[in-house]
Amino acid sequence: QVQLVESGGGLVQAGGSLRLSCAASGSIFSGNVMGWYRQAPGKQRELVADITFGLTMYADSVKGRFTISRDNAKNTVYLQMNSLKPEDTAVYYCKVNNGGRIYWGQGTQVTVSS
């Protein structure tokens, strides 16, 4: 079993920055895929970025503004979000694919004011 605890969301003005963290505990495999998704009101949940073995993937809408990273010693994945836009407003969820089993965090709200 894996537990995910997210932190770092909040309210920020357009152009500002936030850093999200997601700490995983439990039976963690080193080669798992960790990532961030988001869901805005009335929209489907979408991939923001993910990382495994140092390989990263980003949604086109966040390329050049967001950076995903992970600390394997702490089983933690981060999402540095810069140049935030109002359209980035959403609940952000951490997701871990741990040996084929999927786990989701509880979500953290990010609100970007114009």
What digits encode the pLDDT tens for the residues 47-63? Answer: 999 999 879 999 999 99
CA–CA gap between residue 94 and residue 51 (Å, rounded):
12
For 77-83, what is the mean pLDDT? 97
Whether the per-residue pLDDT at 91 is higher than 80: the answer is yes
Whether the per-residue pLDDT at 30 is higher than 80: the answer is no
Q: Tell me, what amino acid is at 25?
A: S
User: What pLDDT score was predicted for residue 99?
Assistant: 86
